[in-house]
Amino acid sequence: MNSTHDTIVTRFPPSPTGLLQAGNVRTAVFNYLFAKKHGGKFVLRIEDTDRERSKSEYEQNIIDTMKWLGFEYDEFYRQSEHAPRHSEVLSKLIEQGDAYVSQETPKEAGQRAEVIRFKNPNTAVTFTDVIRGDITIDTTDLGDFVIGRSLTEPLYHLGVTVDDFDEGITHVIRGEDHISNTPRQILILRALGAPIPTYAHLPLVFGTDKQKLSKRRGAKAITEYRDEGYLPEAMINYLALLGWHPEGKDEGEQEVFTVPELLEQFTLERIQKSSGVFDEAKLKWFNYEHLKRLSDEEFTDRITTFMAAHGQEVPEYMPQILTLLRERSQTLGEARDALIMGEFAFMVVTPNPGPDLLIQGAKADAATVKRHLEHIHRLLESVGPEFTDATVKAAIFDYATEVGRASVLWPLRVALSGREKSPDPFTLAGLIGKEHTLSRIVAAAELL
């Protein structure tokens, strides 16, 4: 995008009144990508003026989320620390006749008898939105709107406008639900003689239930996805495509992007007007695609770090099953669970499947299954020192084909893994070795 600004400055201004969810963070993604693409600044501003609902743990969640995503901010502010400056501007607006103290009739006991209102010039405000084009709003219907409860209690429109001005924000990139706020803020900026930033109002993010994602409606926190083993680059990739698409994007073209690739291609002009739908199933697909792109060393480092963060250690046998683990895990959490309590537990825990499971998928009675297991044992005893999935398959596959694969391979797989679902029995035997394979077959046959 061609900009008249020497240095582009964007801001992400969440309120610490709840945990950050995907709708919030998508806004951070667009602000970060746009600023960094143009060598600009990305500002994190905690808008904590709602004293009753703002909590320190929510502020920490915001900071933790930015750290996990790798979004390094160039400047950090807390809006509450700007209270003296806000009061100064309120006084200035009153002095120059752009605001006034309004005597009010309290509607309820305890309400203030006076507020500070902005003197609305009752004019049409036109601004150019990068995404939506020229927007004109008649401010007459807004009346003289309230900008402060008192000189020491400024409200949202005053605070955010002054902070944007003081922090040199050049581009306000935010949700389309803020379009109605823009004319009020432009009127205040004009009264202050401040430059008007460039606006880009993003389409909203909905859930699969077609409702707007909202922390008040219980939308899942981004840090929950972190704790479930999603990759930050997958989250950024998916959120970037909720409302934006690269130039020339057609069906079947690239969807998986690294952050550097997003930085190279991102433009505000290619943000669409229609809303995006956040779908966990699609996010998981993106995560799996990013996991596949990691080298074995990178995957090992990621799962080791992830498990350490949960007070767990990677089992020593993991290198033996790394390829299988990667193929069968869509998140680091799924990989962790498979390693310590799931389908790969057979590597360290001797299975005890029970007779019912042994014959469940065998399509044969217990006596037949026992006879097959005993015969497989004899066949595998003759396999030489090279006991691999290939040599195991070569030793027993013809027999299984002759008498019925289900009645041979099902009980063998269950005998080795103890589970209804697991890798095939040839792979299992190759992983645990000849000694454990034979002993587990004997134990299973004795159950029958």
> What would the pLDDT profile of 224-251 be if each residue is shown by its tens digit?
999 999 999 999 999 999 999 887 655 5
> 308-332 pLDDT, tens per residue?
999 999 988 889 889 989 999 999 9
Q: In terms of domains, do 375 and 439 share one? A: yes
Cβ count within 10 A of residue 424 = 16
Residue 433 lies in a domain: yes
With a cut of 80, say whether residue 343 has pLDDT above it: no
> d(Cα 205, Cα 130) in Å, to the nearest integer?
19
- Domain assignment present for residue 363? The answer is yes
From the list 145, 85, 142, the residue with the least C-alpha distance to 115 is 145
Query: Residue 215: which residues within 8 A CB-CB, separation 6 or more?
Result: 17, 18, 19, 20, 21, 24, 221
Domain membership of residue 112 (yes or no) is no
Number of domains in the chain: 2
Last residue of a domain, one of 341, 365, 399: 341
Spatial strand order in the sheet of 99-103: 99-103, 114-118, 146-150, 153-154
Q: What is the mean pLDDT of residues 263-288?
A: 94
pLDDT for 353: 87
Angle 367-372-378 (CA atoms, 0-180°, nearest 5)? 130
- Residue 252: pLDDT band with limits 50, 70, 90: low
Instruction: In whole angstroms, give the CA distance from residue 445 to residue 428.
Output: 18
Residues 6+ apart with CB under 8 A from 362: 368, 369, 406, 407, 408, 410, 411
Q: What is the CATH number of the domain that holds 427?
A: 1.10.10.350
Q: Flag whether pLDDT at 208 surpasses 50.
A: yes
Specify if 298 maps to a domain. Answer: yes
Average model confidence (pLDDT) across the chain = 92
Instruction: Tell me whether residue 374 is in a domain.
Output: yes
Which residue range(s) make up the domain with 438?
Answer: 355-447
**Across 10-19, 245-254, 292-301, 343-352, least confident range:** 245-254
